[in-house]
Amino acid sequence: MSQIPSAPTWRDWYVFGIRWLIIGGFVLLLMMARNITSLPTDLNNALLVAAAANCLLAVTLLLPFKTASTAVTLITDWLILGALAWVSTEFPMLVTGIATIMILVSLLQANATYSLFQALGSLILAAAGLLNVGTPIDVTDYVFGPARLPLLEIALVGAVVVISAYLLERMIWQQKRTFKALEAARSAQIVDIHERTRAIYEMTTTFRETLSFERILNAALDAGQLGLSGHTRRALVAGVLLFQADDPGLCVVAARRMTRGDMNVIAPGKGGLIGEALTEGVPIIGG
């Protein structure tokens, strides 16, 4: 079973919770800006729309519609921003602030496409709010009017967030790729350990239960090939060398993939890897 973590479920609930802070804080700031102590009708309606949009996200997370949570989050973000921008057209700083915050929160998705749509939607809604929706709009107000600087600021924040989201998305993708590689390596190591354990058990059983010299040699060849597996990509040649009474060195008594000439070679065993292995009494792995 894969142990690679997916997108955390708490992320969407964090967005749900942080929205209440954004909505509540914005309403308080707007009341302070208007110098009022009670909710007027327009602000009350905007608050209801924003609260309903946020509750819609919670319903999506609670019901089996979690696959649609990303789209619902984006749409409800726009609803909240549009409702709050609608009632604060006389305060460009507040509109700019709420649009900027909504764009920044989109970084939690770690998705450049999502952040791009969020930035574009927020820019359009902020522009509509700043230019008083419902009144005749002069296009020159976008370029020369008082809405120019706030909109440029929102566009700048949006560009920074989109680039940051792209880099974050790439970083997460690379981490997942690394996790998969580590998981594959770990699985290969476990399989290799199982193979080595099985080979050792079979060799021990063969040595204990049989008097067949040929079977013992085959078990030794299997163990040698298994011990070198993974250390090289080259084709392996296995051989069993023993001292014989009439020969001055080690003779090949069993082999795999050796040439006939190599089979007839007598190794003195006084130097090289063979000599080192005989002297040290431990496995020697050389290049």
> What Rg do the C-alpha atoms of the chain give, in angstroms?
36
Average pLDDT, stretch 90-97? 86
pTM value is 0.59
Confidence of residue 75 (pLDDT cuts 50, 70, 90): very high
CA distances from 125 to 201, 271, 281 (A): 72, 82, 79
Average pLDDT, the chain: 79
Specify which of 20-24, 39-43, 198-202, 235-239 reaches the highest per-range mean pLDDT: 20-24
pLDDT single digits (tens) 159-178: 998 998 888 888 888 888 88
Q: pLDDT band for position 24 (50/70/90)?
A: very high
Q: Would the pLDDT of 218 be above 80?
A: no
Q: How far is CA 202 from CA 221, 227, 238, in A?
A: 12, 14, 18
